[in-house]
Chain A
């Protein structure tokens, strides 16, 4: 079926198109060139509308054990937001940590067509994939967590060479069916198991004698040498600690030009000035990001209201449990592999710290120059549920609206932020970069995040509206792989997306030592640990899409 989108204003940063009136054609799931005299089967009038590729959330907690703990722990949150079934959609519930089906529907209803789970524990990867397999419409994928696993730390202590590390990292990406590598509080999750309660960049793990700086260096090098497109995804040390801005600056300086993605940087941009010894470090962080082209960031914006934080960083989550609201929380150590912490939070605009966190996130967005190196996230659900993205886009694109909200937050926080003096308003082109072309480039997704011929026809069409929140809340049409899935902000058809993975090459001999380690210390056989292709594809709705690496198998 040949489909034509006629007369829309196209924003396709991947092709350098910024607001040109163009027709878009697609057929059999793919964008095509203007066809010759082949008849158009269906035409959509897009005059007065904005056409972009489907949005991609490059960091959202949508699959894996900690999310399911968060769901299970918060029945009262679900009761606020029941979602009835329809003839074509399943029932479920929403708010902070929606059920899987509702996750898929609501993302699609905002024009998103892909989401990436950033914290896939190798030992819990099966669960992450099984949950994501129950998220309809979206494409998905995950970054596998390394850096606090005992096997890796033993390698560092034993001074194994970079090649051996690379093999282990590549093995793990393959075994967990991931597309990137993440490190969370480098070595800190492990240190917490030895009763360390904080771990600075140059502080040693008491058992292994290894520092976070070493871990970052070795993993960032591995990712680069393996040719993984997505740079090492870093949740840094000292999350949430006043003064952690300096840790973040040291992390940027110390990595020596290697590609790094610093995630939810808002939580890592705090100074210690002012009466409350809590201040914004956004300007210094943004300056460092602007200067260091090897660095990309996503913001992890907080927005006011009830949510739940779910993180692999059990050390910091344990420290933050005193802020739990409602007062219940879970911290886990997991399988000599990693850990997790789940703490409900209610961000309040009349709380000085929360109000300043809100401002720090926005300052960061507005002070970083290059939209190709910054990404729009709330670290769902940690800063806010993903359903708040349209509101966040309006805050970025509409200075008047932003200043109106600013005027309502805690007065001391207003004094501590430069937000009111920042005039920048994001353009539609910049939004399209952050949420589409830039995200696809960062993750290394081939043929996604753009509208050039050959790309998959993941397309979102909005009615242009000066109220950007209204505009981005309710797309007129969303196409996924060329199929119309959303009309007027409501799902009209469901389907299943693919799972994006990378398959970096490794020396198979790495499995010999691993097998011995698994047999001696772990509770599962190595052969049973590796996720096979058919586990993703056997139910006939999942599929795997392998993206290239420099050393692909």
Chain B
């Protein structure tokens, strides 16, 4: 039995890398710095690690051949999930390029709120260490932060800061969803200021806040149930702060259609604040490989996600190439589902030939045509993953000897066989 320290996590999105994990054969136990997200993800049992064809155990070779045979007969398969490490994504994109597939990563409907704002007007953003050391005012928009990132406050706010005399004096303001717990309460007892409104009122509220930052007159007394005077005080605080940070979870805004306009309004407001002082956005989006998928897809195709290869070159459409939409509209002729992180993230139901490359232990209501259990990056094999701030890539470690293949190995093997079939034809 050994304890491995300073283990980086691909699960929580913030790249926590202080975990201590006890390894006993193939059993893992988080013995220090666990959280509600990371601990169960690391401790998940391997389960049955045999590949299966329609529920029947087969060898890896047979499963790979069957997957390749299925794929070689398709015209436009969709590869969904896309939850794996950098090398797994490389293999996935290579396979998609060869098969003329559409690729779509799981969390993109959420991340799209950020990407559409980026592609339309851009932003001024920051990263976690800048937040930790410089942030004197945190505005949380429409997001229950501790529910998404349980250790956010402990690690990045209520912690030593290079440029603040007393990090406990930082101000925290919630706009929209109130916090579900007390993580945002300062160690000195200071509670976060909460200006609550319904999610549906958020577009109106951030619109008014941006107008106030710009000094535009507002005739109404209230916006989305919040007193305009209170919003004015937030605008004043943002302008008075030395290094304000505005954060949001792209997925938390999702109930509003066109939530990208909330992101855009907030981002343009931040640009306005920077005419006088410093202020930055911190978009939180993505865990379990979402940002990794977007990054690798970005440098390989030029587009972050939802790319179609069936014309022989990459085409991007953030709406049309949605896995669920394509399946529902009969636009795909096979489904490949890749998720090496989460046994609960199973493929959407489909009558199409289905190939699942999934974390070992994944179970299904309806057995797919091919299921190949793979190891988890950061547990069963080394790899790389991106953090939620989209700048820092973490080095994932191999913690145990499970014998499970990696996503990259399996997808490359399938591609090699597809290539063989294509040549034979």
- Contact residues of A between 288 and 336, Cβ < 8 Å to B: 318, 324, 327-336
Given contacts A333-B280, A521-B132, contact A68 B295 (CB under 8 A): yes
Query: What sequence of 0s and 1s flags, for each residue 84-124 of chain A, a beta carbon within 8 Å of any chain B beta carbon?
Result: 11000011110001111100000000000000000000011
CA distance A84 to B129 in the complex (A): 40
A350 within 8 A of B: no
Q: In the complex, which of the residues A73, A91, A126 contacts B122, with contact meaning CB atoms closer than 8 Å? A: A73
Within the complex, the shortest CB–CB distance from B291 to chain A, in Å, comes to 11
A65 within 8 A of B: yes
B142 within 8 A of A: no
CB neighbours (8 Å) of A330 from chain B are: 118, 122-125
Q: Are B119 and A73 in contact (CB under 8 A)?
A: yes
CB neighbours (8 Å) of B311 from chain A are: 82, 84
A163 within 8 A of B: no
Within the complex, the shortest CB–CB distance from A343 to chain B, in Å, comes to 9
Given contacts A91-B312, A98-B302, A127-B295, contact A73 B118 (CB under 8 A): yes
B319 within 8 A of A: no
Interface centre among B123, B242, B316, B392 (most CB of A within 10 A): B392
CA distance A131 to B393 in the complex (A): 12
CB neighbours (8 Å) of A91 from chain B are: 97, 301, 309, 312-314
Q: In the complex, which of the residues A124, A522, A535 contacts B129, with contact meaning CB atoms closer than 8 Å? A: A522
CA distance A330 to B124 in the complex (A): 6
CB neighbours (8 Å) of B90 from chain A are: 134, 539
CB neighbours (8 Å) of A67 from chain B are: 299
A275 within 8 A of B: no
Q: Are A85 and B313 in contact (CB under 8 A)?
A: yes
Q: Are B299 and A134 in contact (CB under 8 A)?
A: yes
B177 within 8 A of A: no
CA distance A527 to B18 in the complex (A): 11
Q: Are A535 and B242 in contact (CB under 8 A)?
A: no
Q: Are B97 and A71 in contact (CB under 8 A)?
A: no
CB neighbours (8 Å) of B153 from chain A are: none
B364 within 8 A of A: no
Q: Which residue of B lies closest to A520 (CB)?
A: B160
Q: Which residue of B lies closest to A538 (CB)?
A: B382
CB neighbours (8 Å) of A68 from chain B are: 295, 298-299
Query: What sequence of 0s and 1s flags, for each residue 67-95 of chain B, a beta carbon within 8 Å of any chain A beta carbon?
Result: 00000000000000000001100100010
B355 within 8 A of A: no
CB neighbours (8 Å) of A71 from chain B are: 298-299, 302-303
CB neighbours (8 Å) of A73 from chain B are: 118-119, 122
CA distance A522 to B125 in the complex (A): 17
Query: What sequence of 0s and 1s flags, for each residue 46-89 of chain A, a beta carbon within 8 Å of any chain B beta carbon?
Result: 00000000000000000001011101111100100011110000
Within the complex, the shortest CB–CB distance from A487 to chain B, in Å, comes to 22
A34 within 8 A of B: no
B304 within 8 A of A: yes
- Contact residues of B between 298 and 332, Cβ < 8 Å to A: 298-304, 309, 311-316
Q: Are B126 and A332 in contact (CB under 8 A)?
A: yes
Interface centre among A91, A127, A131, A527 (most CB of B within 10 A): A91
Interface centre among B8, B115, B122, B382 (most CB of A within 10 A): B122
Within the complex, the shortest CB–CB distance from A97 to chain B, in Å, comes to 8
Q: Are A331 and B395 in contact (CB under 8 A)?
A: no
Q: Are B302 and A78 in contact (CB under 8 A)?
A: yes
Q: Which residue of B lies closest to A96 (CB)?
A: B302
Q: In the complex, which of the residues A124, A130, A150 contacts B392, with contact meaning CB atoms closer than 8 Å? A: A124
CB neighbours (8 Å) of B216 from chain A are: none
B134 within 8 A of A: yes
CB neighbours (8 Å) of A72 from chain B are: 115, 118-119, 294, 298, 302-304
A403 within 8 A of B: no
CB neighbours (8 Å) of B128 from chain A are: 335, 523
CA distance A536 to B341 in the complex (A): 24
Interface range for A: 35 or more
CB neighbours (8 Å) of B274 from chain A are: 318
B173 within 8 A of A: no
Q: Which residue of B lies closest to A86 (CB)?
A: B312
CA distance A101 to B390 in the complex (A): 22
Given contacts A130-B393, A195-B278, A328-B119, contact A335 B129 (CB under 8 A): yes
CB neighbours (8 Å) of B301 from chain A are: 91-93, 99
CB neighbours (8 Å) of A527 from chain B are: 6
A524 within 8 A of B: yes
CA distance A71 to B115 in the complex (A): 12
A528 within 8 A of B: yes
A193 within 8 A of B: yes
Q: Are B130 and A335 in contact (CB under 8 A)?
A: yes
CA distance A193 to B134 in the complex (A): 9
- Contact residues of A between 141 and 195, Cβ < 8 Å to B: 150, 192-195
Q: Are B17 and A525 in contact (CB under 8 A)?
A: yes
Q: Are B243 and A101 in contact (CB under 8 A)?
A: no
Q: Are A525 and B18 in contact (CB under 8 A)?
A: yes
CB neighbours (8 Å) of B169 from chain A are: none
CA distance A45 to B176 in the complex (A): 73
Q: Which residue of B lies closest to A124 (CB)?
A: B391
Q: Are A99 and B300 in contact (CB under 8 A)?
A: yes
Within the complex, the shortest CB–CB distance from B300 to chain A, in Å, comes to 6
CB neighbours (8 Å) of A415 from chain B are: none
CA distance A535 to B87 in the complex (A): 11
B155 within 8 A of A: yes
CB neighbours (8 Å) of A333 from chain B are: 125-127, 130, 134, 280
Q: Are A523 and B163 in contact (CB under 8 A)?
A: no
Q: Are A336 and B122 in contact (CB under 8 A)?
A: no
CA distance A74 to B115 in the complex (A): 11
Q: Are A92 and B300 in contact (CB under 8 A)?
A: yes
CA distance A75 to B295 in the complex (A): 14
Q: Which residue of A lies closest to B280 (CB)?
A: A333
Q: In the complex, which of the residues B87, B127, B312 contacts A335, with contact meaning CB atoms closer than 8 Å? A: B127
Given contacts A130-B393, A332-B125, A522-B129, contact A528 B6 (CB under 8 A): yes
Within the complex, the shortest CB–CB distance from B317 to chain A, in Å, comes to 9
Q: Are B313 and A84 in contact (CB under 8 A)?
A: yes
- Contact residues of A between 518 and 552, Cβ < 8 Å to B: 520-525, 527-528, 531-532, 534-535, 538-539
CA distance A525 to B17 in the complex (A): 7
CA distance A98 to B313 in the complex (A): 13
A207 within 8 A of B: yes
Given contacts A68-B295, A83-B313, A328-B119, contact A78 B303 (CB under 8 A): yes
Q: Are A524 and B394 in contact (CB under 8 A)?
A: yes
Given contacts A93-B302, A335-B127, A523-B156, contact A532 B86 (CB under 8 A): no
Within the complex, the shortest CB–CB distance from B100 to chain A, in Å, comes to 9
Given contacts A72-B115, A91-B309, A336-B130, contact A195 B277 (CB under 8 A): yes
Q: Are B121 and A328 in contact (CB under 8 A)?
A: yes
Q: Are A85 and B97 in contact (CB under 8 A)?
A: yes
CB neighbours (8 Å) of A329 from chain B are: 122
Q: Are B395 and A126 in contact (CB under 8 A)?
A: yes
Q: Are B303 and A75 in contact (CB under 8 A)?
A: yes
B342 within 8 A of A: no
Q: Which residue of A lies closest to B317 (CB)?
A: A75
Q: In the complex, which of the residues B6, B155, B391 contacts A334, with contact meaning CB atoms closer than 8 Å? A: B391
27 of the cross-chain contacts (CB-CB < 8 Å) are A71-B298, A72-B118, A74-B302, A91-B312, A92-B300, A92-B301, A92-B302, A93-B302, A97-B302, A99-B300, A99-B302, A131-B299, A150-B133, A207-B163, A327-B121, A328-B119, A333-B130, A336-B162, A520-B160, A521-B132, A521-B133, A524-B15, A524-B394, A528-B17, A528-B395, A534-B382, A538-B382
B binding-site residues for A, Cβ under 8 Å: 6, 8, 14-15, 17-18, 86-87, 90, 94, 97-98, 115, 118-130, 132-134, 155-156, 160-163, 242-243, 274, 277-278, 280, 294-296, 298-304, 309, 311-316, 382, 384, 390-395
4 closest Cβ contacts across the A-B interface? A84-B312, A82-B313, A78-B302, A328-B122
Known: A99-B299, A126-B384. 18 other contacts (CB 8 A): A71-B298, A71-B303, A83-B313, A85-B309, A91-B313, A333-B130, A333-B134, A334-B130, A335-B130, A521-B129, A521-B161, A522-B129, A523-B155, A523-B392, A524-B15, A525-B17, A528-B8, A539-B90
